[in-house]
Amino acid sequence: MKVLSGIQPTGAIHWGNYFGAIQQYIALQNNEQAFYFIANLHALNQVRDAAKLHEYTFEMAIDLLALGLDPNKATLFVQSDVPEISQLCWILLTGAPMGLLERCVAYKDKVAKGQPADAGLFTYPVLQAADILAYDSDTVPVGADQVQHIEVCRDLAGSFNHQFGQTFVMPKAHVLEASARVPGTDGEKMSKSYNNTLAVFEDAKAQRKQIMRIVTDSRPMDQAKEPAGDVLYDLFSLVAPDADRESMAALYRRGGFGYGDIKKALADAAEKFWAEPRARRAELAAKPDQVRQILGDGAAKARKKAAEVLKRAQKACGIPA
């Protein structure tokens, strides 16, 4: 299995990023090939501050390594360090039907929410296709909302192969588990755009205060409640051991508890769960040259493979390599 995925550096990693995707990316790093990149070119659609984008990109590398991405197993690199991607993107753009891109739900949704309808956002799926095809990836772990973009990639690759001969490997989506949906502090899906996140690497004391401020319903203390669907229980379930989770579920169904006690238990469980990654992150942050070396080595490996695929595509369509 040849795995590839990327994550945009648009700010601090939160619980939703980890449980919804990163945890599963790391589980897939023990494969024939695992390429993971920090998608700073994609992030330009949202981050228009040069200093912030530079900071977010490097901090994302530290975060991923602290969370368990192993450079001895997986290749970690920054997207813009592989210029072959942009070259391949243009080749794919020349054969990308406007109607195909206009039908992309992610584009229509973002425009509906007020995000500027620029060319970068519109052609996002083509750059994503270049990311995938450049490494002969056959497996792309994505959330359910990104499956359409993989289909666009397959359409573009299939059309190119039909017109110019077999050039690109046809990838397939590896849909991440829907059960990994993480509620935000307001009960909605955890998202930076909703301002309802819990940052993975937040100071433990600061995060405890944030958890204690989560708004709950007005259920009387003696009233029993079904745990599933309750924001505090759902968050607790992510960071607590199985036995503690079962005990908490039994408490909910029995009743006779206050939400303040649940919040304290959640904060305690979160502090223990994130203690090791937070310690690793502090060590990595103190060794920036080591992180840069990992990214440099990753980029060199990624460029070698991307150059091979780009040359293949250029030769197929008549562009001198």
Residues annotated as catalytic (active site), given as ranges: 110, 189, 192
Contacts of 288 (CB under 8 A, 6+ apart): 58
d(CA 104, CA 89) in angstroms, rounded, equals 17
Element holding 14 (H helix, E strand): none
Contacts of 303 (CB under 8 A, 6+ apart): 81, 82, 83, 84
Q: DSSP for 35-91, please give it.
A: EEEE-HHHHTTT---HHHHHHHHHHHHHHHHHTT--TTTSEEEEGGG-THHHHHHHH
- 184, 190, 191, 198 from 194: Cα distances, Å: 8, 7, 5, 12
172 in the Ramachandran plot: left (φ > 0), alpha (ψ -120 to 50) or beta?
beta
Q: Which amino acid is at 272?
A: K
Q: Which amino acid is at 106?
A: A
Q: Which of 292, 311, 220, 275 is nearest to 38 (CA)?
A: 292
d(CA 118, CA 45) in angstroms, rounded, equals 8
Q: Are 39 and 120 in contact (CB under 8 A)?
A: no
Q: Which two tokens stand for residue 162?
A: 């039909």
d(CA 317, CA 18) in angstroms, rounded, equals 40
Eight-class DSSP state of 34: E
